[in-house]
Structure 1
Amino acid sequence: MTSIASRWLLIGLLLMAAPIAHGENGCPTGFLPTGGAPSAQDPGACRPMASYEQQQAPRSPPPPPPRPVPPLEWKPDWGAIAWDDERRTIGSVVEAPTENEAKEGAMKDCQSKGGVDCRLVLAYENGCGAFAISDAAWGVQADATEIGAEVYAVRACTKTGHQECHVLFKDCSRPNGFATP
């Protein structure tokens, strides 16, 4: 009988000791206790398991934040159209770096083609210009697209009551590269 009682006593002692035993002695997964056994007063320290350390990437300081980049702006390119109504001469320039250079260039182009009484009729930036004409009227317009400039120039010409307007000139002065900040 003693052997049965001692077995029950051993089982009872093991069951009472079960709550004291912790997996890895209270350390988180992947860590082992260091030093003595932990207690309620001294939970002890934990160190990573060797295999756990190998799985973790080495810690390095975070990279510095990226430097702010100033926004890019297109270089302006200008176009202009000059017209001599009496001699029906048109002058134009595209991709001029400034508005004044575009205007002067269009006037010079008109005069070089035989225009005497040339006058500036359109200056535009980073877009397209078109000049439409009929036997007795004309219209000029700028737009972001070549087809838009053509349509609006013909409309401007036909608003005077002339239906036989056609495009005499069209060209675009688009941005060419980026301006330096």
Structure 2
Amino acid sequence: MKLIAHWLLLASCLLLLGGVDRAWAEGNCPAGYYPIGGQGARGCAPIPGGGAGSTGSSEIRLATPTGKWTKTWGAIAESKSTQDAGVSTGLRSKNEAEREAVSKCGAAGARDCTVSMSYFNQCISWVIPSGRSGAGRAGLGGGATPELAQVAAQVMCRNDRAGQCEVFYSNCTKPLFDEF
């Protein structure tokens, strides 16, 4: 009777083992793959260098760039004699930005407009004395953020009365992504 029980146990084990045709790794993934996902969304991904996949290649391919970043320019021009001013922003060259700012400054008739500041891919702030008595001095400043540009401009400004100079103009130019 014991002999029959041993044969039945052995036969059961062979049947169970015979039904397994594939070995699964951790997370029920085949060899050469690892489990990904979680929270109900699970899957398997090939192990880099593991030789898994249809081509058998272990090379990891990087994404191909689809474009390039291009800087943009802005400029400020002003007239000393008339106090007229002109600004430009978002242009693709320094010369183009400066020409546009000088042109806008001279649109009201000023003939002595000159570029006070050119900038690219940054923020600028132009602050002026709040009393407007002529005894102060304006300030121009640049920075990575509008706040940093304003701090830099306030340092340059000399107000003609107590307190900070007033923000007259503030802007940021940002790079443009040109797709191939």
Indicate whether the TM-score tops 0.5: yes
Pick closer, same or farther for the CA change 1:78–1:54 going to 2, 3 Å.
Answer: same
Per-residue Cα deviation, 1:12-58 (whole angstroms, up to 9, x for no partner): xxxxxxxxxxxxxxxxxxxxxxxxxxxxxxxxxxxxx6433234548
Per-residue Cα deviation, 1:92-128 (whole angstroms, up to 9, x for no partner): 0010111111111111111113322111010111111
Counterpart of 1:81, as a letter, is I
**In the alignment, does 2:120 pair up with 1:125?**
yes
Question: 1:161 & 1:105 partners in 2: Cα distance?
Answer: 31
Pick closer, same or farther for the CA change 1:175–1:151 going to 2, 3 Å.
Answer: same
Counterpart of 2:139, as a letter, is G
Question: 1:166 & 1:86 partners in 2: Cα distance?
Answer: 21
The residue that corresponds to 2:151 in the other structure is: 151
Maintained 8 Å contact 1:91/1:113? no
Counting aligned pairs with the same residue, the percent is 25
Q: Structure 1: state its 5+ residue gaps.
A: 1-48
Pick closer, same or farther for the CA change 1:88–1:60 going to 2, 3 Å.
Answer: closer
Maintained 8 Å contact 2:78/2:115? yes
Look up the SS of the partner of 1:88 in the other structure: coil
Farther off after superposition, 129-138 or 54-63:
54-63
Report the number of matched residues: 134
Question: 1:118 & 1:51 partners in 2: Cα distance?
Answer: 89
Counterpart of 2:111, as a letter, is V
Q: Structure 2: state its 5+ residue gaps.
A: 1-16, 25-29, 32-51
Pick closer, same or farther for the CA change 1:155–1:67 going to 2, 3 Å.
Answer: closer
**In the alignment, does 2:106 pair up with 1:138?**
no
The residue that corresponds to 1:112 in the other structure is: 107
The residue that corresponds to 2:80 in the other structure is: 85
Counterpart of 1:169, as a letter, is Y
Structure 1 or 2: more helix by fraction: 1
Structure with greater Cα Rg: 1
Look up the SS of the partner of 1:53 in the other structure: coil
When normalised by structure 2's length, the TM-score is 0.60
TM-superposed deviation, 1:60 = 5.0
**4+ runs of 1 displaced by more than 6 Å?**
none
Question: 1:162 & 1:102 partners in 2: Cα distance?
Answer: 34
Question: 2:94 & 2:102 partners in 1: Cα distance?
Answer: 13
Question: 2:113 & 2:80 partners in 1: Cα distance?
Answer: 8
Question: 1:102 & 1:147 partners in 2: Cα distance?
Answer: 23
